Structure 1
Amino acid sequence: MSELKILGVSAGYGRETVLEDVDLTVAEGTTTAVLGGSGSGKTTLLRAVAGFLRPGSGTITVGGRTVAGPGTWVPPERRGVGYVRQDGALFPHLSVAGNIAFGLPWPRRRHHDRVLELLDLVGLPAAIAERHPAQLSGGQQQRVALARALAPRPGLILLDEPFSSLDTALRTATREATAQALRAAGATTILVTHDQGEALSFADEVAILQAGRFRQVDSPRTVYREPVDAEVAEFLGDALLIAGSAADGSVTCRLGTLPAHGYPAGDVDVMIRPEQLTLTRPGAGGLDAVVRDIAYFGHDAVVELDPAGDESRDPLRSRVLGVDAPALGELVGVSVVGRVRTYPRVLD
């Protein structure tokens, strides 16, 4: 498989610029999730890499070969790039085997073995090879689409929100099967998604794309625990932002004096993830609070808390195991686990 390098790429449609001078490197054999909301430029980026859209400026290389750049343009069919769309886009008139083998450059006598190899790779039984797409579940169709993209051994695989149309349980199973297949194939992969949990769990690296620019590119753990600013922090998941004063590697706020990293000193906004707030017995935490509301999800629960004796303050949110959820109106202590992230104070 191949390393992907995007350098100084700007692209758009007509006079509308969607991507502005973006850089991104996807190391060989790794997966990068490009995470962004609607209109952020995710699909435009994939279209430029695949060759469906010519960038206005910059260069794109796949495996050291320039496929787009000043004076250079390689058409999509010659880039060695596999593309899996959201709907799979299988040919309804072809069997599973026919879909997977479609476009293989090898003699037909070699197709059968390659089809069986790929079905095994994506976790599907050989018995479905003669079925047609209408006879498959949504998850099976997406796995067949992945097998088709992998069939000619492309240098790069592009996944365009391939799980978004599936129900929750099927999405999880299909995502796990896809990740295993890509790892087994040693594929270099870009996944574009608007689902934070999907990006964090699927990829080796997460690239946050907002308004046509990358805001942060790092490991899933780093972008979640150490987002570059409060806006990215809130985009990546539930985040509490409270006022504090930082000095000497700690910050003092209404939850006490906490170990911190980020902005080193002065007035700051303190970012705390709800799962960092643990509930204890009253008097044993940094402060006491009353349980105002509970959103119960079975495996966990989000508990909304009013600081005891001061209802004028913004409520806090704690994420706890479902079995540990307190009762409405209960008085609890609140403590913070781990280091918190600080940012320069933003005044309204």
Structure 2
Amino acid sequence: MTELKVRAVSADYGLDAVLKSVDLTVAEGTTMAVLGGSGSGKTTLLRIIAGFLPSSGGEVSVGGRVVAGPGVWVPPEQRGIGYVRQEGGLFPHLSVAGNIAFGLPWPRRRHRDRVLELLDLVGLPSAMADRQPDRLSGGQQQRVALARALAPRPGLILLDEPFSALDSGLRAATREATARALRAAGATAVLVTHDQGEALSFADEIAILDSGRFRQVGPPAEVYRQPVDAEVARFLGEAVLLDGTAFAGAVSCLLGTLPVQEGTPDGKVQVMVRPEQITLTPVGSGHVEATVRAVSYFGHDAVVELHDIGGASSQAVIARVLGQNAPPVNQRVGLRVIGPVRAFPRARLRDLSLLRRAAESEVHAP
């Protein structure tokens, strides 16, 4: 098992700062998902860890060994890191077995046993060992690519959006098989992705990367339920954001008086409610009432857009309900919020906005 440490790593392309002195620790045997939008710096970070790109500052250590830093540069092939690209990158002229065994350091007579072991690990039948890559589905190709990365038993595996080119059903199955294989191998892994659901379901921890800086790092449930600010809340999933006033462990807002998460100071706040916290009740049940404006039906669940809340507000909110419970458009319903909500002090929101503008000015300054 291998621990990964990134300390004060920076990177730039000309005048554009891509990574801004970022720190990240991935404990041995765990999986970290680095979640960010296009241009956030997530792939640059992965390539620096792998040794494909130099950083402009900072240090990277793998298993306690510094592989990049002031006066230190270990070539990629000597870092003991496996790398799985978005498109898999299998060699078309080699069989599945040839791809998996490519680069194995031990004698060829031992390759076959290792290949069969890895095919089983990634959930593929041994009969596929002699197939060519063009006879595999996209999901099967990605599993072979993972097997190839795991073949020399590296302590660290890097996954560069390996599921993004697959259709939704195949993506989920391949993601689950990959997670099982990584756990069975005891490898430390870093996945970079722009898919929130993928990060939440795949990793032991999530790191939110935005404009070259980590906004929040923690277990998926913690980051989802307790985002540090409204921007992280919106990035990690759908969020209803409302003005409110917090006092004595409760917050008053458009949806009524709600319990607030511990540690919220009294005063003006922005309230965050996840759509699945909002349940629909019959009219006259004593809850705030609203009118159904639109319903997006997905089978297993539905997103309900609501307006005319309390009979006065023009603001709309959304609720997520079981598909079988989706109400008809124009129906009047009650709204009940389940569990404590998250609230962000207004002063902190202003400070974050000022800090972001200052950082952007610094980057673009001549």
- What do residues 18-71 of structure 1 show as CA deviations (whole Å, max 9, x unaligned)? 101000000000000000000000100001000011111111000000000111
| TM-score (normalizing by structure 2) | 0.93
> CA separation in 2, counterparts of 1:210 and 1:308?
34
Once the two structures are superposed, the pairs formed by residues 30-179 of structure 1 within 5 Å of their partners are 30-179=30-179
Counterpart in the other structure of 1:314: 315
- What do residues 283-341 of structure 1 show as CA deviations (whole Å, max 9, x unaligned)? 22530111110000000000011135636421111000001111111111100001100
- Indicate whether 1:288 and 2:289 are aligned: yes
- What do residues 59-85 of structure 1 show as CA deviations (whole Å, max 9, x unaligned)? 100000000011111000000000000
Aligned letter for 1:125?
P
Does structure 2 retain, via aligned residues, the 8 Å contact 1:87–1:142? yes
- Indicate whether 1:22 and 2:28 are aligned: no
Counterpart in the other structure of 2:325: 324
Does structure 2 retain, via aligned residues, the 8 Å contact 1:287–1:307? no
> CA separation in 2, counterparts of 1:307 and 1:210?
35
> CA separation in 1, counterparts of 2:229 and 2:211?
15
> CA separation in 2, counterparts of 1:324 and 1:209?
36
Question: Aligned to 1:152, what secondary structure does the other structure show?
Answer: coil
Aligned letter for 1:344?
P
- What do residues 202-247 of structure 1 show as CA deviations (whole Å, max 9, x unaligned)? 0000000000000000000011100000011011111011111101
> CA separation in 2, counterparts of 1:309 and 1:285?
12
Question: Aligned to 1:270, what secondary structure does the other structure show?
Answer: strand
Question: Aligned to 1:242, what secondary structure does the other structure show?
Answer: strand
**For structure 1, which runs of at least 5 residues remain unmatched after alignment?**
none
- Indicate whether 1:184 and 2:184 are aligned: yes
> CA separation in 1, counterparts of 2:271 and 2:88?
43
Counterpart in the other structure of 1:230: 230
Q: 1:151 to 1:308 in 2, by over 3 A?
A: closer
Counterpart in the other structure of 2:274: 273
Aligned letter for 1:147?
A
> CA separation in 1, counterparts of 2:54 and 2:304?
49
Q: Would you say how many aligned residue pairs link Structure 1 and Structure 2?
A: 348
Question: Aligned to 1:90, what secondary structure does the other structure show?
Answer: coil
**For structure 2, which runs of at least 5 residues remain unmatched after alignment?**
354-366
- What do residues 92-115 of structure 1 show as CA deviations (whole Å, max 9, x unaligned)? 000000000000000001100000
Question: Aligned to 2:237, what secondary structure does the other structure show?
Answer: coil
Does structure 1 retain, via aligned residues, the 8 Å contact 2:249–2:264? no
> CA separation in 2, counterparts of 1:189 and 1:6?
14
> CA separation in 2, counterparts of 1:266 and 1:308?
23
> CA separation in 1, counterparts of 2:39 and 2:123?
34
Does structure 2 retain, via aligned residues, the 8 Å contact 1:12–1:44? no
Structure with the largest fraction of helix: 2
* Percent sequence identity over aligned pairs: 70
1:158 Cα shift? 0.2
> CA separation in 1, counterparts of 2:61 and 2:309?
58
> CA separation in 1, counterparts of 2:191 and 2:245?
39
1:12 Cα shift? 2.4
RMSD: 1.3
